Chain A
Amino acid sequence: MSGLVLPQIRATFRAVAATVVPETAALDADGWARLEAEVERALRSRPERMVRQLVLFARVLEVASLFTDRTRFSRLVPAARHRVLKSLELSRLVLLRRGVWGLRTLVLLGYYTQAEVQSRIGYRAHVDGWSARRTSGEHAATPTDN
């Protein structure tokens, strides 16, 4: 797909993001820019058809709550957004479940691949493995010539 995808569905995407990862509500402009840049990058390598389906799903999601809550999805309060996404995720229709899964996975990609988020949640894998931990005095195990 040529051109950027998220500007077409930005309000919905950010509302989904804040529902999927509540911490994103605290992101500043730079934080959003990083998250969205990673999502755009990933979308560029995805099949066009899949990207079109995701955009369509996001558009339907945005207006579907007009029927149930008389408000667009992006303007719902967090608890209502959570309820809407949850009901779609547990829907009998695989298409709806997939749609939620696809959007949520993009949010998780944009958020959890960021180095500062990884270190904030305590992920500490290091190229030097055990010796990196040993240096910090935590573990006695040593690498060997296995």
Chain B
Amino acid sequence: MAESRTYDIVIIGSGAGGGTVAQALAPMVAQGLKILVLERGPRLDDHEFTGREAEMAPALYADEGGFLTADGTMTLAMGRVYGGSTVVYTGTSLVAPERVIRSWCVPGLEHADLERRCEQFMAANHVHYLPRVLLNENNKRFFTGAHRCGYKPEQFPVNLRGCKGSSLCNLGCPNGAKMGTHRVQLPDAERQGVEVVTRAEVLRLEERAVQLRVSARPEGGKGRPSEWAPGDYHVSARLVVSCGGSIGTSALLLRSPVTAGIPGLGEGFTCHPALILVGEHDHPITNDVGHPKSYFVDRAVADGFVLETCMYFPFVTAKNLTSFGPEHSALMQAFPRLQMILVLACDKAVKENRITVDKSGKPVVHYTFTPAVRRSLVAATRASARIFFAAGAKRVHSPLSEPTLIERGDAYRMDDLIREDYFLPGRVSIAAAHLMGGCAMGTGARAVTDARGRVRGVPWLRVADASLFPDSLEINPYLTIMALADRVAEGIRQDWGSIS
């Protein structure tokens, strides 16, 4: 028998969207409202962030970071923890390009308004440029190589406070330096009286209510026990705000009979499919020390891709190198000499790419690499190889060639060696961390919400996370998600009289 509880507002998820809504609505607690955040992941204490790959990936990521698309050809990374994906993000903080927001054609959504809100979050998250003395050679070589190739490398603003340069951002910062909702919005909301319950997975939405299950802390696992006793709960609320992320929110609405029939639900999934590329230098370079992501080259308009510096951990690196055997091992042995680039394709929302649920209500993500995405990834791989060689690398690992290693002497044949026919999904490791769409904003027949996240035909339900994006953002998305969530919260405050 489920235990019943009553709140005024229930927020599902505590990531970029949920944490932001919680903070923005928190002042309503002083007016007597009861606000609850339900997060399916655990709440970790600072000392539990060890930076060790084998421990942190299972503790922080859904499916340990190995969630696969339906045909098994792409891995999707999403946080499952107090703070959501903001705990594992790298903290690069960019404002959405005006052209993208204009192309979304969402009436009532103005770029200037988003920009203003982004600036507020940039100030709150201490966004700034790292001084050059703190940039490592992995980043500096990218800058040099890109510059020599005629690209325009730009520095990422990052949201850090007291960064020690441990390079472990995607395993959760062990120094508490990276500003995510777990460090900024959620603690502030809790101080104001918002209640956060972790290890609490919402199974289903009902009319003005949610059904959820609180799990016990697994033996030996990281994180505190839940704030509530393990078991099933039925929580009534005047308003529910779903912030479970693109996949979490879409799946929740799809498996809930009260919302499952909404046209357009689950459609328009995009994710910036990404490849990790590696160049090998003669001498060790600083790569596993220093913040990993300092520069990018934006070729979204011209070529449909963005290149970013990156540095991953041994298993993630090994997994993302294509193929296996002695060549693969030799490259791994060269770890201190590796330079890395992350290549992101700016994919577009298409009919085939969507989120559904299986019989048990679990999300299934259907994703096909369109010809445009394939072409972008090939062009991006060639561009990265040029950058590596221009930066002094002696050989480059390309997932889109066979053999996968290209020697410096063969650099002039790059276009022949890196080819689209080697783009073999299932062989090449493709991963994505910018999960977007599924509950698109807009006014069209397939739009799930309006520009304030109000779900069509369901007056007690709002959406405030990356699922709102009608198409991909073509740049790192967290600031835009926070800005959109802030707009949704503002709409709730304005509408509260009629809601209550």
Question: Hey, which bits of chain A sit against chain B, CB under 8 A?
Answer: 19-23, 38, 41-42, 45-47, 50, 82, 85-86, 89-90, 94-98, 100-102, 104-105, 107-109, 111-115, 117-118, 121-133, 139, 141-146
Report if B63 contacts A (CB, 8 A).
yes
Alpha-carbon separation in the docked complex, A123 to B313 (Å): 8
By Cβ-Cβ distance, the 5 closest A-B pairs, closest first, are A97-B426, A129-B165, A129-B164, A129-B166, A113-B54
Interface residues of B toward A: which range? 35 or more
B residues in contact with A121, CB < 8 Å:
314, 332-333, 335
Interface residues of B in 289-334 (CB under 8 A from A): 289-290, 313-315, 317-319, 323-326, 328-329, 332-333
Chain B nearest Cβ from A35, distance in angstroms:
11
Flag if B165 contacts A130 (CB, 8 Å). Answer: yes
The reply to whether B314 and A113 form a contact with Cβ atoms under 8 Å apart is: yes
Residue of A nearest to B322 (CB): A89
Chain B: residues with CB nearer than 8 A to chain A? 50-54, 58, 63-64, 66, 68, 71-73, 126, 128, 130-131, 133-134, 160-168, 174-175, 284, 286, 288-290, 313-315, 317-319, 323-326, 328-329, 332-333, 335-336, 362, 402, 424-427, 429
List, in ascending order, chain B residues with CB within 8 A of A97's CB. 424-427
Is A127's CB under 8 angstroms from B427's CB?
no
Given A139-B289, A141-B134, answer yes or no on A126-B166 (Cβ-Cβ < 8 Å).
Answer: yes
Contact of B319 among A19, A38, A108, A146 (CB under 8 A): A108
Pick from A21, A46, A108, A143: contact of B164, CB under 8 Å: A143
A-B contact count (CB 8 A): 160
**Which residue in chain B gives the minimum CB-CB distance to A118?**
B314
Q: Are B64 and A128 in contact (CB under 8 A)?
A: no
Query: A97 vs B332: C-alpha distance in the bound complex, in angstroms?
Result: 22
Nearest opposing residue in chain A for B360, CB measure:
A47
Residues of A within 8 A of B162 (CB): 143-146
Given A45-B64, A123-B335, 20 other A-B residues pairs in contact with their CB atoms under 8 A: A19-B324, A20-B324, A22-B329, A98-B73, A105-B319, A112-B315, A113-B53, A118-B53, A121-B332, A121-B333, A122-B333, A123-B288, A129-B163, A129-B167, A129-B290, A130-B289, A133-B289, A143-B162, A143-B163, A143-B164
Q: Is the CB of B325 within 8 A of A82?
A: yes
Q: Is the interface of B mostly helix, strand, loop or mixed?
A: loop
Question: When A109-B315, A123-B335, A129-B289 are in contact, do A144 and B325 touch as well, CB less than 8 Å?
Answer: no
CA distance A145 to B52 in the complex (A): 25
Tell me, rounded to whole Å, the shortest Cβ–Cβ distance linking B395 to chain A: 17
Please measure, in the bound complex, the distance between the C-alpha atom of A38 and the C-alpha atom of B72, giving whole angstroms. Answer: 21
Q: Flag if A23 contacts B329 (CB, 8 Å).
A: yes
Among candidates A50, A117, A128, A130, residue contacting B314 with C-beta atoms closer than 8 Å: A117
| A127 B51 Cβ-Cβ under 8 A | yes
Taking a contact as CB atoms under 8 Å apart, the answer to whether B164 and A102 are in contact is no
Report the minimum CB–CB distance from B287 to chain A (whole Å): 9
A112 and B313 CA atoms in complex are apart in Å by 9
Can you identify 6 A-B contacts, CB atoms within 8 angstroms?
A94-B426, A95-B426, A98-B426, A112-B315, A121-B332, A127-B174
B168 neighbours in A (Cβ, 8 Å): 125, 127
Chain A residues whose CB sits within 8 angstroms of the CB of B429 once the complex forms: 101
Docked complex Cα distance between A86 and B427 (Å): 10
CB pair B289–A132 under 8 Å, yes or no, is yes
Chain B residues whose CB sits within 8 angstroms of the CB of A142 once the complex forms: 133
Closest chain-A Cβ to B125's Cβ sits at a distance in Å of: 12
Question: Which chain A positions have C-beta within 8 A of B326?
Answer: 22
Write the chain A residue with the least CB distance to B288.
A125
**Closest approach, in angstroms, between the C-beta of B117 and any C-beta of chain A?**
23
Docked-complex contact A46 and B63, CB < 8 angstroms: yes
* Distance A141 CA – B135 CA, assembled complex (angstroms): 9
B354 to chain A, nearest CB (A): 19
Residues from chain A with a CB closer than 8 A to the CB of B58 are: 41-42, 45
Identify B288's interface contact among A95, A107, A124, CB under 8 A: A124
State A90–B424 Cα separation when bound (angstroms). 8
Are B324 and A21 in touch, CB under 8 angstroms?
yes
The minimal Cβ–Cβ distance linking B44 to chain A, given in whole angstroms, is: 15
Report how far A113 CA is from B336 CA in the complex, Å: 17
Which residues of A are found within 8 Å of B50, using beta-carbon distances? 127
- Expressed in whole angstroms, the Cα–Cα distance for A109 and B319 within the complex equals 8
Chain A contacts for B64, CB-based, 8 A: 42, 45
A115 CB to closest chain B CB, in angstroms?
7
Contacts of A143 in B (CB 8 A): 134, 162-165
| A44 and B374 alpha carbons, distance in the complex (Å) | 33
Bound complex: CA A109 to CA B429 (Å) = 14
**B residues within 8 A CB of A107?**
324
Give the CA-CA distance A85 to B72 in the complex, in Å.
18
Chain B residues within 8 Å of A23, by CB: 329
Give chain A residues whose Cβ lies under 8 Å from the Cβ of B426: 94-98, 101
Contacts of B164 in A (CB 8 A): 127-131, 143
